[in-house]
Chains A and B, each alone.
Chain A
Amino acid sequence: MNLQELLTIFISAVFIYNVILSRFLGICSFIAISKETKPALAMSFAVMFVIVTSSAITWLVYRFLLLPFNLTYLRTISFILVIATFVQFVEMVIRKVSPQLYRAFGIYLPLITVNCAVLGVAVLNIDMFFANDKQVAGSFYYSVFQGVCVGLGYTLAMLLMSGIRERLELCNVPKAFKDFPLAFIIASILSLSFMGFSGFNF
């Protein structure tokens, strides 16, 4: 594990291959909840938390359950089950421990189960940090760090998008383009500006 590797993961996960704007994971929540900044931020933090913890859990499941018993073909089923159970568990804990926090992002938690970003990062970690069924040195830390960076990228995109859409509320838009179509076109322009990062080299 070295600093350069971590920096590469950071830059590529946040800017070059931004989860939403270039990998298209979690588009549904991105379009649906980005109308105002506050809920968008709450959703982003909930997603970030779930992504980080689930990338740690799925790494452990893959390394210590699926690999030793030669069950790697069960990857998809086991990962989605682990994520669904974990999200349910977090929801129960938050409800019990802090009702205030539950009100803030409780309604978004069930949605996260079917957020492709969570499963996407888990699968991506396995693809990137396991070569020929052998773990790369320090792959656990890389996986968790990649989870953090992807969460940050998600938050960045949500923040930009909700800021723009808040201002667009006051504009006069053709009726056919209200809401979804316009949101996609804004996302397209945002994605175009993120393309500028793709020339980065270390």
Chain B
Amino acid sequence: MKSLVKEFTKGIIKENATFVLALGLCPTLAVSVSVVNGIGMGIAATFVLLGSSLIVSLIKDFIPSKIRIPCYIVIIATFVTIAELCLKAYSPALDRSLGIYVPLIVVNCMVLGRAEAFACKNNLISSFCDGLGMGVGFTLALILISAIREFLGSGQILGYTLFKGFEPVFVFGMPSGALLVIGLLLGFFNLLNNKKT
């Protein structure tokens, strides 16, 4: 039980996909304009990660090691298609604002990385915990980045204005603002790690 909790929590802090491993940054940069987008992307990626981790850990003994990467990609692509169709059906507005970044979850290195590094070596339950932890960590990172960008870029969070008379900094809503925020946050987390050790 204790090791399961460890598998879950390591994805949130110690091996956070975005800030520590720097994996899967393309969608993080692109969709973090508003918190709603961030949460939507986080949930979609978590769903794909969980599903693919489960299936990979179930059928790991049947996959020949030479063609394992294409097999993983097919499994991941199946879950991405499910997520894509669900988004289109239940929340067309979110689907439009996420745009091409939903099908691009397939090539998110975080998902393939977990399948290759963890799920193909571990049993069902620990793969589940690992996938959930990684997904939650990814979602939290997205929420943090998109909250900073939405607040500085438009003066709002989830559509609510926080301070009266705050002049939004337009550039944080633009692509260059995303790169700046990620760069500074990565530096900040490096600093914290350096202090600790």
Q: Chain A residues in contact with chain B, CB under 8 A?
A: 21-28, 31, 73-77, 80-81, 84-85, 113-116, 119-120, 123-124, 127, 174-177, 180-185, 187-192, 195
What are 17 contact pairs spanning A and B, CB under 8 A? A21-B175, A24-B26, A24-B178, A28-B26, A113-B107, A114-B107, A116-B107, A119-B104, A123-B100, A127-B100, A175-B194, A180-B186, A181-B190, A187-B179, A191-B174, A192-B174, A195-B176
Contact of B190 among A26, A177, A189 (CB under 8 A): A177
Assuming the A-B contacts A76-B77, A77-B78, A80-B106, are A185 and B183 also in contact, with contact meaning beta carbons closer than 8 angstroms in the complex?
A: yes
CB distance from B47 to the nearest CB of A (A): 14
CB distance from A97 to the nearest CB of B (A): 23
B56 within 8 A of A: no
Task: Name the interface residues of B142-197: CB closer than 8 Å to any CB of A.
Answer: 171, 174-180, 182-184, 186-188, 190-191, 194
Query: When the two chains form their complex, are residues B100 and A124 in contact, meaning their CB atoms are under 8 A apart?
Result: yes
**Chain B residue with the shortest CB-CB distance to A193:** B176
Interface size for chain B: under 10, 10 to 19, 20 to 34, or 35 or more residues?
35 or more
Query: When the two chains form their complex, are residues B74 and A77 in contact, meaning their CB atoms are under 8 A apart?
Result: yes
Assuming the A-B contacts A28-B26, A184-B183, are A120 and B77 also in contact, with contact meaning beta carbons closer than 8 angstroms in the complex?
A: no
Query: When the two chains form their complex, are residues B194 and A76 in contact, meaning their CB atoms are under 8 A apart?
Result: no
Q: Chain B residues in contact with chain A, CB under 8 A?
A: 22-23, 25-26, 29-30, 69-70, 73-74, 77-78, 80-81, 84-85, 100, 103-104, 106-109, 112, 171, 174-180, 182-184, 186-188, 190-191, 194
Query: When the two chains form their complex, are residues A182 and B183 in contact, meaning their CB atoms are under 8 A apart?
Result: yes
Complex Cα distance, B84 from A31, in Å, reads: 28
